[in-house]
Amino acid sequence: MEWLIWAALLGVALVLVYAALDRLASPPRQAVLPAQYDPTNYATGPSSIPGRCVRCGRRNDPDYRYCGNCAGELPDADSVSAAARSRPFGRE
């Protein structure tokens, strides 16, 4: 019966070691900001955000040329006005 307790303790120790090693190997998580700090919520229009589809509003990668949802052409990062980039929250 004593071997059963030792086996259980060994199993718990292995799980803890595996969890610690997995945490060390995984990349650190990025902090997620609350919605009120997301600049896309305060944008002046969908075309002022690189990668945001004008037709359906989906957020795509800024490097994409076409929307992954509706296949509409996305605004280019170069075509976004300098004023929109300097005021990411849509305020003066």
- Per-residue pLDDT of 49-86, as tens digits, reads 777 888 888 888 888 888 889 988 887 766 655 555 55
- Amino acid letter, residue 63: D
Structure tokens belonging to residue 49: 């955000």
Residue 92 has pLDDT above 50, yes or no: no
Tokens of 16: 């803890």
Q: CATH classification of 45-92 is 2.40.128, yes or no? A: no
Query: What is the rounded distance in angstroms from the CA atom of residue 36 to the CA atom of residue 11?
Result: 45
Q: Residue 21's CB: how many other CB atoms inside 10 A?
A: 10
Confirm whether pTM is higher than 0.75. Answer: no
pLDDT reported for residue 84: 53
Q: Which of 6-15, 23-32, 60-69, 72-81 has the highest mean pLDDT?
A: 6-15
